Amino acid sequence: MYILEVDAEFSAAHFLRNYRGRCENLHGHNWRVRLSVAGSQLDEAGMLADFGLLRRWLREETEALDHRPLNETGPFDALNPTSEHIARHLAERLAPRMPAGVRLECVRVWETDRASAAYFPGH
């Protein structure tokens, strides 16, 4: 089994609904996102997938969130913009793009250097 990982970053503001504490107030993060894909078959070039393509897809999805108030940006205008929900949202947007023989293993979202949430589709 091979696993490839690519990272991207975006900056955005949010506040948490149904939460009591500092994060119920509007604040921002410099989010880091990691896309992990897996598969067992390499192509004729000896690659599972093209890193450049994976980076481009991840960047396209994170750019849709970059420098935005997440609470006013779909789907987070209705869904609480937690790290968990952001990871799942990105995974659901990216999974259909995976080439044959490659599955999205995980999307991990860091809101700080010491706090992250990961979503594993199908688990």
3-state secondary structure 11-60: EEEECCCCCCCHHHCCEEEEEEEEEEEEECCCCCCCCCCCHHHHHHHHHH
Residue 122's pLDDT is: 85
Question: What are the residue ranges in the chain where pLDDT is below 70?
Answer: none
Domains of the chain: 2-119 (3.30.479.10)
The predicted model scores a pTM of 0.96
pLDDT of residue 95: 98
Rg (CA), the chain: 15
What pLDDT sits at residue 78?
A: 97
- State both tokens at 6: 């690519």
